[in-house]
Structure 1
């Protein structure tokens, strides 16, 4: 693809979410210490955290599941560059009702909607994660929560049909995890800096391309999309949080 064909896609992002390299490094260190043999990544995208875990746990094998073929192809290229091709599978398929588990370590970062068709999927997703994790394993759930109750005017400027019921507060999220059969080993939340790096990097390739190609036939539609997303971000900035919960299944 040439520069005139359109902007590159998400090349500024290392992770598809507000996750810093420092937090990812600490997370991988803690998880690798549990010596997982199998890792399942739900809604993996290009599976950067999955690949880092496989590097840190040489005996482990991994599966990443997603429906975005372009992201999965990026994951396969990255796996090849790191010598991990024979230890990881990137599967283009739905995770609904998946039979890929149980796994020693299950990742679900910003992808609870991949496990449930409910309008607010987190409770059902947690029950599915309990099904998919091995009895002595770990789940890492990356899930949105309200830092504070959103005001009506803020909701009106967020994603289409946003409602206060789309998320709960952090305490309620932890309660839902306990109800689903987990104990929270580690609770951490994305910082303002992580959000700003993610949201900026999410748009950066397209913003730079648009500045250089303002008269391109696709420029108007791209401009509308970028401006709309930026306005949504400004509406949920400081209101929407993201929790990273490391969960231990309660013995049955």
Structure 2
């Protein structure tokens, strides 16, 4: 079963592709006020936008913005376009199927990159890509994982990760500083947010497998849901953290 399609189905119930509640999402995008100055439309860019939940929330909160979302997943982008239509944002949101790591669009006043660092080879690569697309003095909404505890061998196995692949929270913020950004408002995902996200991921995929899946994909989807549930519950639950943070450009 195609991985991009599987992921799009798994995120049906929780289109915010991160362990972040709707309330926390609204608070975070609310901190991305338009830069000072009048007379022009601001641009937001979402690198690794998935189904567009973050970008569309930003556009809904800040009418001065138009936005572009970039992702390689055609199923996720189809969902993003549907969500934009339902929100009345078709004229303000454009979704592009491309590799965010090599995409060469114009500069943006706000750049979002949440849960997509793997597409850039890690945190440092993601922050470097963000900077390439950011207008001087702009703001960033960045989200990435870190070790809140451990990591235990079970957590590493569950994520199929190496011991030094993720930092702790101070280490993640140190990486942000080395890239020339200053952390502003941030949100550390709670265990309840993690549980909601993971139960939605596995639950949406399980329900699809049992009620909608074509013959031949039912067992594949169920196996993916079972594997993910086991890796989470027996592996990284309570050890893997997630930070979403507004960053200010200190090199403006």
1:6-17 superposed matches below 5 A: 9=9, 10-17=11-18
Shift in CA distance, 245/213, structure 1 to aligned 2, threshold 3 Å: closer
1:203 match: secondary structure:
helix
Deviation at 1:211, TM superposition (A): 5.3
Shift in CA distance, 148/55, structure 1 to aligned 2, threshold 3 Å: same
1:7-156 superposed matches below 5 A: 9=9, 10-32=11-33, 34=35, 37-114=42-119, 116=120, 118=121, 121-156=122-157
Deviation at 1:209, TM superposition (A): 4.4
1:149-188 superposed matches below 5 A: 149-156=150-157, 158-160=158-160, 162-188=161-187
Match of 1:198 in 2: 197
1:86 match: secondary structure:
coil
Deviation at 1:208, TM superposition (A): 2.9
Match of 1:220 in 2: 219
Counterpart Cα distance in 1 of 2:176 and 2:205: 37
Match of 2:3 in 1: none
Q: Does 1:232 align with 2:237?
A: no
Shift in CA distance, 37/207, structure 1 to aligned 2, threshold 3 Å: same
Counterpart Cα distance in 1 of 2:221 and 2:91: 39
Counterpart Cα distance in 1 of 2:217 and 2:42: 47
* Cα RMSD (Å): 2.3
Deviation at 1:99, TM superposition (A): 1.8
Any gaps of 5 or more consecutive residues in structure 1? 1-5
Q: TM-score, normalised by structure 2?
A: 0.87
Shift in CA distance, 24/153, structure 1 to aligned 2, threshold 3 Å: closer
Deviation at 1:32, TM superposition (A): 3.2
Counterpart Cα distance in 1 of 2:64 and 2:14: 28
Any gaps of 5 or more consecutive residues in structure 2? 1-5
1:97 match: secondary structure:
coil
Q: Spell out structure 1 runs of 4+ moving beyond 4 A.
A: 33-36, 209-214
Shift in CA distance, 57/154, structure 1 to aligned 2, threshold 3 Å: closer
Shift in CA distance, 89/239, structure 1 to aligned 2, threshold 3 Å: same
Counterpart Cα distance in 2 of 1:213 and 1:76: 22
Counterpart Cα distance in 2 of 1:243 and 1:236: 16
Counterpart Cα distance in 1 of 2:212 and 2:133: 47
Number of aligned residue pairs: give it.
Answer: 240
Counterpart Cα distance in 1 of 2:216 and 2:74: 26
- Indicate conservation of the 8 Å contact 1:110/1:143, yes or no: yes
Shift in CA distance, 163/82, structure 1 to aligned 2, threshold 3 Å: same
Counterpart Cα distance in 1 of 2:109 and 2:212: 48
- Indicate conservation of the 8 Å contact 1:103/1:132, yes or no: yes
